[in-house]
Structure 1
Amino acid sequence: MAVSPKAQGKNIGWLLGQAAIYSAKDLGASKIYLESNTILKPAINLYYKLGFNKIVGHSTPYKRCNIQMELQLKD
């Protein structure tokens, strides 16, 4: 997920995140998993605000990935 620099600071990332969460719920997903890099501090903060939690233990093919997060949608 990315927001153009010209559009940043206008809650578009929050709205995109919410739309993705609602869509995943509508599709019956039990969780959402993402991989990122902690150098992207605004993105990581957004993910925490959306309810994601840091997890560990998953292998990844992405060398730049240094954080994995998950949002539980169903108990």
Structure 2
Amino acid sequence: MEIVAFRPEHAQAFRLLNEAWISKHFTLEPKDREVLEDPQGKILDKGGRIFMAMDAGRPVGCVAMIRMADGGYEVAKMTVDETLRGSGLGRRLMQRCIDEGRALGAPRLYLETNSSLAPALALYRAMGFRELAGCDTDYARCDVWMERPL
């Protein structure tokens, strides 16, 4: 398994992987659709990054880093195919974000999540994220805000 930088041919897999997990636990929101329908314009063209986890050429996970006004990056749209959850792939994707953030000189990584996603919260805490007070958000499902200084 390898983690690679997003290429245009990954756009459909990025959208489908994210639609699957969001729809399973929540409702796709307007902001989800906006980002998933145009990852190039909404993430990459604005200085962000997207990484894809590939297994024998098949996309099985992804994560985005959305550039923030303070020079930090929001970690977003992170998911792993259900058949590979618990395999450590989520940790590898997050480590790639941490490494990339440091290489870019970012002061921090930030994320928004939901308190019902216990495995994700455990991963974020294990990777050095700490909870913040609530912030403005475009997502109705968000009730946990976290950051990791770099």
| Superposition TM-score tier, normalisation by shorter sequence | over 0.9
Q: Equivalent residue for 1:19?
A: 96
Instruction: Provide the TM-score with structure 1 as the length reference.
Output: 0.93
Higher strand share: 2
Q: 1:59 aligns with which of 120, 136, 144?
A: 136
Instruction: Provide the TM-score with structure 2 as the length reference.
Output: 0.48
CA RMSD of the aligned region, Å?
Answer: 0.7
Matched, 1:39 2:39: no
Shift of 1:57: 3.8
CA distance in 2, matches of 1:58, 1:10: 32
Q: Can you give the 5+ residue segments of structure 2 that lack an aligned partner in the other structure? A: 1-77
Q: Equivalent residue for 1:30?
A: 107
The letter of the residue matching 2:135 is H
- Which of 1 and 2 has higher RCO (CA within 8 Å, sep 6+)? 1
Larger radius of gyration: 2
The alignment of Structure 1 onto Structure 2 pairs a total of residues equal to 73
Shift of 1:58: 1.6
CA distance in 2, matches of 1:2, 1:61: 19
Identity of aligned residues (%): 40
Are 2:134 and 2:143, in contact at CA under 8 Å, matched by a contact in 1? no
Are 2:132 and 2:146, in contact at CA under 8 Å, matched by a contact in 1? yes
Higher helix share: 2
Tell me which stretches of 4 or more aligned residues in structure 1 moved more than 3 Å: none
Q: Equivalent residue for 1:69?
A: 146
CA distance in 1, matches of 2:111, 2:123: 12
